Amino acid sequence: MRIFDRPIYKLWFDRQENLALHKPTWEQHPWPDKSRDFGSENAVDGMYDDRGVGGQCTISDDGKYTATWRVDLGRVVSISHIDIYYRKDNQNHTQNIQRMAGFFVYVSNTTSKDNGYLCYHDESADQNMLSLDHHINCSLQGRHVIYYNERRHGVQYPNFYSKYAFNELCEVEVYGCNGTYGDDCFYPCPRNCQDRSCDTDTGHCSSCVSGYKGPMCNQECDKGRYGIKCQYNCSRHCEEEFHCYHTNGLCLNGCAPGYKGPFCNISCEEPYFGIDCLQMCSNCLNQSCYQETGVCKFQVMHMD
């Protein structure tokens, strides 16, 4: 983590997009007085010139031992860094630093931090080490950015920590490339990246669409395999054994005799056999024959 001066750092990162701006938000303990504009959405409205109680910050309820706030970026995106501007009342910052101390930032594909990755945890041993402006390098892919703080019973926190947990966020900016990568986010993510999401530096896909593999998702599944991560085997009953479309598993040249269905996994029902199960057994006892060849299982017995 690096504490930064916004005008200097901004020149470097302006080319990346704030993916959190005006996106849907949620918080665990909203301020109970609805007449005050302290809603969770204030942290992504693009306004934080007034970081007091004038309505540009989200302020959570008092007296809580956990505080969670999150933003939904709409889909899995490639994140470069996260900027946090905390409430500071435009005057004495001591109380606000005490409330922010010990916070966590997670990136997750779900709404739960427990299913995500820990991007940052403040472990400042002294309140003079903690700033209310944070620039957090966080090169991850995810859909939800989650701010979390806690004051657990039985845990010995540093003396300067507040008694209760809060999320008092004036702005959370999540920067990254939206479907692009490289300097100036110039290059589009490879076409076979799932959701066109890739690493902002390398262009490597976070995952591939069905039928493809490799860092850039530009390699088809090996012959005989198909699907997401090429994890499935083609049917052995394809006309050419284990030969199917790498994306969906459909047999390329139809089914071998005795089988039908798009995946050639349905056996012919008696009395049918052969290609596409269109032929009927003949001169067989009970019209019972082998589904592949039509050879009778039981011959009709003729009496002289």
Give me the CATH number covering residue 171. Answer: 2.60.120.260
Long-range Cβ contact pairs of 118-121 (< 8 A, separation 24 or more) = 119/82, 119/145, 120/1, 120/82
In a domain, 91, yes or no: yes
pLDDT of residue 300: 57
| DSSP annotation of 45 | S
In a domain, 111, yes or no: yes
Total structural domains within the chain: 1
Two structure tokens written together for 300:
């009709």
b/e code 110-139 from CB counts within 10 Å (16+ = b): eeebeebeebbebebeebeebbbbbbbebe
Smallest CA-to-CA distance from 1 within 81, 113, 118, 96 is with 81
pTM: 0.68
In a domain, 259, yes or no: no
In a domain, 98, yes or no: yes
In a domain, 220, yes or no: no
Measure the CA–CA gap between 40 and 99, rounded to whole angstroms.
Answer: 17
pLDDT of residue 303: 47
Residues of the chain falling short of pLDDT 70: 1-15, 299-304
Which residues span the domain enclosing 132? 6-178
pLDDT of residue 112: 96
Smallest CA-to-CA distance from 119 within 76, 170, 73, 174 is with 174
Two structure tokens written together for 108:
């997750």
Express the helix, strand and coil content of the chain in percent, nearest 5 each: 15, 30, 55
pLDDT of residue 149: 98
> Backbone phi, then psi, for 176, in 5-degree steps?
180, 180
In a domain, 93, yes or no: yes
Q: What angle do CA 201, 123, 166 make, to 5 degrees?
A: 95
N-term to C-term CA, the chain: 98
In a domain, 275, yes or no: no
| Antiparallel, parallel or unpaired: β 133-150 and 66-86 | antiparallel
Smallest CA-to-CA distance from 134 within 144, 126, 124 is with 124
In a domain, 77, yes or no: yes
Two structure tokens written together for 107:
């990136």
> Backbone phi, then psi, for 39, in 5-degree steps?
-65, 160
